[in-house]
Amino acid sequence: MARFATLAFLSTAALPGAMAWGAMGHETVAYVASNYVSSATKSYFQDLLGDTSADYLASVAAWADSYRYTTAGKFSAPFHYIDANDNPPSSCGVDLDRDCGSEGCIVHALQNYTTILLDQKASNANLQIAAKMVIHFAGDIGQPLHCEALEVGGNDIDVQYDGDDTNLHAVWDSNIPESISGGSSLSSAKSWASDLIKEIDSGDYKSQAAGWVSGLSVGSADSQTSTALKWATESNAYVCSTVLKGGISAVENKDISGSYTTTAQPVVDLQIAKQGYRLAKWLDAIVAAI
């Protein structure tokens, strides 16, 4: 298993790819998480991040996407995804040994940065980085195309959206989320998170929420990895069932802002809600163990 001490000093070039969920999607995950963390968790991360506002998680949720394109942060580019070398739409699946490259992947990165927070041996600046990475990767791992290798996670599948040229990955990152929230602003994220919280508390997700965090554990590196791999595998399954259900030919060079988006919206809603709730319980488990 690749460890952070090894990964941190790699200088791999940032690979092409859009920002998973876009900033607004990551902020929505963070706002959902903020609603469910314990008071101890809220206090710990507000103190660590130096932000006592209600936006303390959301304000850093997209930071890792900027960091990956800096000289200091380019080593972290592969940490945002895992390249499942499966065969959608006929078969989907994540194999950690096969799919997590030597430069790292999101499953090991989530485990590594979680361990840094648990150990409490790093400098305050590095603990802040670890927190920002965990907050971000908990969102990334819920985006199906961040758990898929085909056509660079859909980046090389050209499509149109409302008449504009784009690619399939970008549509899942931003266009579909914004079609649900109504925009790309912080206020859009807050509003969308509020709707999802209602569904978790008293709506369609109420009966599912406990299952989302079943088996969640930060008790060991192995349990952290197992939990992250479970999340990645769930996301990857949607590549076969929804993202590329009809194969590449069903979407390539087509405008997918109509019925395709309508079909995809419930999956995006679910994944954002699920990862926000999971992030809350993950952060709670970290703080409880410190």
Active-site residues, by number, are 21, 26, 65, 68, 80, 136, 140, 146, 169, 173
- Secondary structure in 3-state letters for the chain: CCCHHHHCCCCCCCCCCCCCCHHHHHHHHHHHHHHHCCHHHHHHHHHHHCCCCCCCCHHHCCHHHHHCCCCCCHHHHHHHCCCCCCECCCECCCCHHHHCCCCCCHHHHHHHHHHHHHHCCCCHHHHHHHHHHHHHHHHHCCCHHHHCCCCCCCCCCEEEECCEEEEHHHHHHHHHHHHHHCCCCHHHHHHHHHHHHHHHHHCCCCCCHHHHCCCCCCCCHHHHHHHHHHHHHHHHHHHHHHHCCCCHHHCCCCECCCHHHHHHHHHHHHHHHHHHHHHHHHHHHHHHHC
Taking the C-alpha atoms of residue 76 and residue 80, their distance in angstroms, rounded to an integer, is 7
Answer positive or negative: Cα dihedral of 247, 250, 254, 260.
Answer: negative
